[in-house]
Amino acid sequence: MRSTRQSALAAVVLALALALTAGCQAGEPLVPRSVYEKVNADGREWTYDTAWQNIRKVNAHLADDALETVGDEALFIASQMERLETGKAGSLGSSEVTALVDEVTRTAQGQDRTKNLRNARELGQKLQERFDAGDFASAKTYAISLHATAVTMAMVD
């Protein structure tokens, strides 16, 4: 009886260890190489200026309910925010980014289009506010969330 409990406990500990280890590994790349290489090729000032324009363009698209390109635009903006935050854009393939995308996707799947559109517009406004304040890390998070929401909406529509 005691060996059965020990075996069960060992199995639980092993499962938890594997789950924790898996959470520390990098996820699938979110940003395609061609996108982050283009962002890295642009100078910092150019990246800042075009990010300003891109954020306002995505918010205009959201206001007009023109969602066809919002997912891709938000992903490009997320790459620009990483470039401005860290000095170099990458694939955004960390486990934290994967977890954020998964969480936002699950939330969006459980809501109707009206609620998702309202949420997307709020994310776009927060993205603009954080960018304007120079908080590129938070702006990147809002851009990733907007991307995941827009992609989910496109799959449901």
**Among candidate residues 136, 125, 141, the one with its CA nearest the CA of residue 44:** 136
Q: Work out the pLDDT band at 26, boundaries 50, 70, 90.
A: low
Query: For residues 49 and 147, what is the distance between their CA atoms, to the nearest angstrom?
Result: 21
Q: Work out the pLDDT band at 12, boundaries 50, 70, 90.
A: very low
The pTM is what?
0.82
- Dump pLDDT digits (tens) for 43-75: 999 999 999 999 999 999 999 999 999 999 999
- Among residues of the chain, what percentage have pLDDT more than 90? 79
Whole-number pLDDT of residue 89: 96
> Would residue 78 count as lying in a domain?
yes
> Would residue 10 count as lying in a domain?
no
Does pLDDT of 15 surpass 50? no
Q: Are residues 47 and 79 in contact, defined by beta-carbon separation less than 8 angstroms?
A: no
Query: For residues 120 and 112, what is the distance between their CA atoms, to the nearest angstrom?
Result: 12
Rg (CA), the chain: 19
Count CB neighbours of 33 within 10 A. Answer: 10
> Would residue 39 count as lying in a domain?
yes
Whole-number pLDDT of residue 64: 96
Identify the domain containing residue 142 by its residue range. 27-156
Q: Is 44 helix (H, G, I), strand (E, B) or coil?
A: helix
Q: Please, where are the H alpha helices in 25-112? A: 33-41, 44-63, 70-86, 95-109
Query: For residues 34 and 57, what is the distance between their CA atoms, to the nearest angstrom?
Result: 21
What does DSSP assign to residue 111?
S
> Would residue 1 count as lying in a domain?
no
Number of domains, the chain = 1
> Would residue 97 count as lying in a domain?
yes
> Would residue 6 count as lying in a domain?
no
- Dump pLDDT digits (tens) for 91-139: 999 999 999 999 999 999 999 999 999 999 999 999 999 999 999 999 9
> Would residue 22 count as lying in a domain?
no
> Would residue 96 count as lying in a domain?
yes
Region class of 45: left (phi > 0), else alpha (psi between -120 and 50), else beta: alpha
Query: For residues 104 and 154, what is the distance between their CA atoms, to the nearest angstrom?
Result: 14
